[in-house]
Structure 1
Amino acid sequence: MSSSRMISANGIEIFVTEQGSGPLVLLCHGWPELSHSWRHQLPAISAAGFHVVAPDMRGFGRTSAPKSIDAYSIFDMVGDMVALVAALGETKAIIIGHDWGAPVAWHAALFRPDIFTAVGGLSVAPPFRGRERPLDALAKSGVTNFYWQYFQKPGDAEAEFERDVDYTMRAVTFGVDASLFLKDGHGFLGDPTIPRPLPAWVSEQDHAHVVETYRRTGFRGGLNWYRNIDRNWELTAPWQGAKIHQPSIFIAGANDSVVTGILGGKRVTEMDRVLPNLKRKLIIEGAGHWIQQERPDEVNAALVDFLKGVRV
């Protein structure tokens, strides 16, 4: 059975759920999620002989949520994971992330190969650092309605998402994959008159847990990750063109708009440029963005096979 606790690391309090013993595996969730997103992976990975730890990431759930937007850079996120490894009494770990957690995992492997001996990403391919700030590039290409742009102004997206948290979670996390482009007359969530039934892979109990948590915390912490997109581009300049040499795995759903969209598609096709030691690229047909919840058996099998091959 899994257990939970608070751990002080990198100047904040990090809530973790953990299970098992053995080499350390960190699981980094995305937006708008919680460590609860990994509930299907903890028992499978621990049963394979690992100590698996899923934190609520900075700004989410029961983990600290600093007020300053500047406290949510990629350096802060990776710093949290580096400090968490040490706080858990370890010097090495394998790190896996989904959605926004994937860039954390990729950059952790890039910045600290001495600590992170293998890396996995779900739904978001490794970074190709472009020639200019991402938001500037979007604007120059004539795009004005991409969700990254909508999330920049503090308060706007928060107001939309917090108006009805139950509906928000049905529309975004547990609904049909949302469009990444806003439509006229609607915010990110789209037409509120459209019914949003829970899919078969989400229980009412799991949905209620996430809704209750976000009603308490609001959405500001997670949205602040997006408000550092251009700043992250500036901070990572020294790693321009760098490769991630550790063993790696990538898993995504074939119907995931992040993977098939204007930004993600090219990255998925060309990820070997960044990942010369890519062990497996698994694209699961018929699956969407919330892959480890939607198709846990296939994801677990792939992750356990990968982990056994790269055991710390």
Structure 2
Amino acid sequence: MVEHRMIDTNGVRLHIAEEGEGPLVVLLHGFPESWHSWHHQFGPLADAGFRAVAPDQRGYGRSDRPDAVDAYSILHLVGDVVGLIQALGEEKAYVVGHDWGAPVAWHTALLRPDMVRGVAGLSVPPPFRGTEPPLAAMDKRFGGRFYWNYFNRPGVADAEFAKDTRTALRKFFYSASGDAPGADAGKQPLVDPERGWLADMPDPEALPEWFTEDDLDTLTESFSKGFTGALNWYRNLDRNWELTAPWQGSVVTRPALYIYGDRDPVPAFPGTPELIERLPDLMPNLRREPLKLAGCGHWTQQERPAEVNAALIEFLTACS
């Protein structure tokens, strides 16, 4: 049975969902999501002897959403995870992240390996730092049309997505899933800044089986206060690049697992396919070849819960 409560940590109040007893597994969601994106994982992890805890990360759901844009840097986000582990009475945890949660998980393992038993990332591979600020790089490569750059415009995406939150989320989840017609992992997510991002996204007549109307209701409620806190994560991409300069060339040394879908656009971002191919050489403790899920889009643990759960439990058990 999933239980909910609030935790004070790192200067913010976080809502968490939790189930089970045993070694702690922290589950970190991405954009535009909430703790609920892990609802298929709670029962299986608890049954396997683990304590699963999924927060609404800062800026999301029932958790605090600081006003300052720079309060969403990667150091703040890692600090929230570290504080959460400690607030839960633990010294170490497994850290698992999807989408934006994956860079937070990877950086937690990179910056605080003493607190991480093992780390798993879904969709987004480890954060090997590039040679130039990411927002600037994408702006130059795609003429300002890459979605990161669109999100970086103050108030613009915030207003577009909040105009009809339920429709925006329905379009997001369907268009980035493996069920969307013509789903193409190689198509870059470019936005016409005048028309917005939602204009060209398909709006399904019926949702995929793995994403129900109840799921959409729960997600819509979690964005009742808007999208600004969540979008502020993207507005720190160049700041994060500056802040992580001391770790240039560093690699994650803790036991690691990487899972992605072959229809997910994120692993096809510029330079990422080459990075994924090199992961076994770059990561000294990668426990298996990157697991590619056939027909799976971006929402890895929701689209393919059985396969993700099996891989996670095998990995966590081997690290215990």
TM class by shorter-chain length?
Answer: over 0.9
The answer on whether the counterparts of 2:172 and 2:201 sit within 8 Å (CA) in structure 1 is no
- 1-side partners of 2:219 and 2:151: how far apart? 21
Counterpart residue type for residue 249 of structure 2: G
1:188 Cα deviation from its structure 2 partner? 1.3
Unaligned stretches of 5+ in structure 2? 178-182
The answer on whether the counterparts of 2:171 and 2:202 sit within 8 Å (CA) in structure 1 is no
Counterpart residue type for residue 119 of structure 1: V
Any idea what SS the aligned residue of 1:172 has? helix
The 3 A distance-change label for structure 1 pair 190 and 274 is: farther
The answer on whether the counterparts of 2:28 and 2:54 sit within 8 Å (CA) in structure 1 is yes
- 1-side partners of 2:164 and 2:123: how far apart? 27
Match of 1:75 in 2: 75
The 3 A distance-change label for structure 1 pair 303 and 85 is: same
1:244 Cα deviation from its structure 2 partner? 0.8
1:187 Cα deviation from its structure 2 partner? 1.3
Any idea what SS the aligned residue of 1:173 has? helix
- 2-side partners of 1:58 and 1:171: how far apart? 24
- 2-side partners of 1:89 and 1:157: how far apart? 38
How does 1:144-183 map onto structure 2 within 5 Å? 144-177=144-177, 180-183=189-192
Deviates more, 1:49-58 or 1:261-270: 261-270
1:192 Cα deviation from its structure 2 partner? 6.5
Match of 1:90 in 2: 90
The answer on whether the counterparts of 1:27 and 1:38 sit within 8 Å (CA) in structure 2 is yes
The 3 A distance-change label for structure 1 pair 211 and 128 is: same
- 1-side partners of 2:135 and 2:175: how far apart? 27
1:267 Cα deviation from its structure 2 partner? 2.4
- 1-side partners of 2:81 and 2:282: how far apart? 21
Match of 1:65 in 2: 65
Query: Does 1:253 pair with 2:289?
Result: no
Identity of aligned residues (%): 49
The answer on whether the counterparts of 1:40 and 1:293 sit within 8 Å (CA) in structure 2 is yes
- 2-side partners of 1:164 and 1:207: how far apart? 13
Which of 252, 257, 279 aligns to 1:271? It is 279
- 1-side partners of 2:113 and 2:56: how far apart? 23
The answer on whether the counterparts of 1:106 and 1:121 sit within 8 Å (CA) in structure 2 is yes
- 2-side partners of 1:277 and 1:83: how far apart? 25
1:186 Cα deviation from its structure 2 partner? 2.9
1:260 Cα deviation from its structure 2 partner? 2.0
The answer on whether the counterparts of 1:251 and 1:282 sit within 8 Å (CA) in structure 2 is yes
Q: How many residues align?
A: 310
1:130 Cα deviation from its structure 2 partner? 1.2
- C-alpha RMSD of matched pairs (Å): 1.6
How does 1:1-312 map onto structure 2 within 5 Å? 1-177=1-177, 180-183=189-192, 186-191=195-200, 194-195=203-204, 197-214=206-223, 216-280=224-288, 281-311=290-320
- 1-side partners of 2:149 and 2:281: how far apart? 28
The answer on whether the counterparts of 1:288 and 1:294 sit within 8 Å (CA) in structure 2 is yes
The 3 A distance-change label for structure 1 pair 52 and 192 is: closer
1:206 Cα deviation from its structure 2 partner? 1.2
TM-score normalised by length of structure 2: 0.93
1:146 Cα deviation from its structure 2 partner? 0.2
TM-score normalised by length of structure 1: 0.95
Any idea what SS the aligned residue of 2:311 has? helix
Any idea what SS the aligned residue of 2:109 has? helix
Deviates more, 1:106-115 or 1:162-171: 162-171
- 2-side partners of 1:72 and 1:241: how far apart? 23
Query: CA deviation digits over 1:39-58, x for unaligned, max 9?
Result: 00011111111111000001
- 1-side partners of 2:144 and 2:210: how far apart? 34
The 3 A distance-change label for structure 1 pair 193 and 128 is: closer
Deviates more, 1:254-263 or 1:53-62: 254-263
The 3 A distance-change label for structure 1 pair 274 and 235 is: farther
The answer on whether the counterparts of 1:94 and 1:119 sit within 8 Å (CA) in structure 2 is yes
Counterpart residue type for residue 261 of structure 1: F
1:274 Cα deviation from its structure 2 partner? 3.8
The answer on whether the counterparts of 1:243 and 1:273 sit within 8 Å (CA) in structure 2 is no
The 3 A distance-change label for structure 1 pair 48 and 145 is: same
Give every structure 1 segment of 4 or more consecutive aligned residues whose post-TM-superposition deviation is greater than 6 Å: none
Any idea what SS the aligned residue of 2:166 has? helix
The answer on whether the counterparts of 2:96 and 2:120 sit within 8 Å (CA) in structure 1 is yes
